[in-house]
Structure 1
């Protein structure tokens, strides 16, 4: 195995190559382990890596952009083929072209960002809860201030 092949095969990120029709040609060992493909003899079509709604976005929006620009990057959920679990990935794709410039396929180096995305979502949820608590506490304090002002007026009138 040459140096490049060793690098790709031992990379901890998902590395894959597909033809122009999105049939997978290659997925490295880390990619197979990450997505539960180690026991699959035949590699699935690229769009099977995503939920149906995400696959539609990839096909209709993201890939046309990649074709126009030559590459693209997005954060999206892949799915584990054994468990069905969603795995957040930093999905980086580039167009492979022949000597005449004709698109012949796509390559990806994608990174597992699942832990980071889950932490970001938990933080956003906590911020929302905190904002709700602040709003509720502010309302309670406003009511208490109004009651104190009323009591002060009554005291002054007495």
Structure 2
């Protein structure tokens, strides 16, 4: 029982001293002929004791928030993101969110740009007929006569693996 009260002893001691001061003030006021209603000074005495205790003990402050420094160095970028072709492709695929616009034609054109850069390598294997037809349809000036169908995830992965065939041996 005493162990449970021990942390409260400083508070109780300060409140008791403040209340004794309040009763002494009430007694002096009564001797002077000034009658003050008792509840108000008691409430003020209790508040004074608690404030005295808070100033003595202090209020536990929250730990300061730690925010890491902003790293402005470009060395943290993954090696794939340093390639402009990959960044363009990521930008187009990121545009597939509902509030943005992405067309299969735009994605096929980027795949065509990657295929053009890949074609500079004499050791690169030839592209599949499906990918060549997709790129040709995307580059055709009349989109009505050569529509580009939707590119699903499986087809996109197949095209990307096909375009990366020659790239993997460099790394």
**TM-score for both structures, normalised by structure 1:** 0.23
Greater share of strand residues, 1 or 2?
A: 1
Greater share of helix residues, 1 or 2?
A: 2
**Whose relative contact order is higher, 1 or 2, with alpha carbons under 8 Å and at least 6 apart?**
1
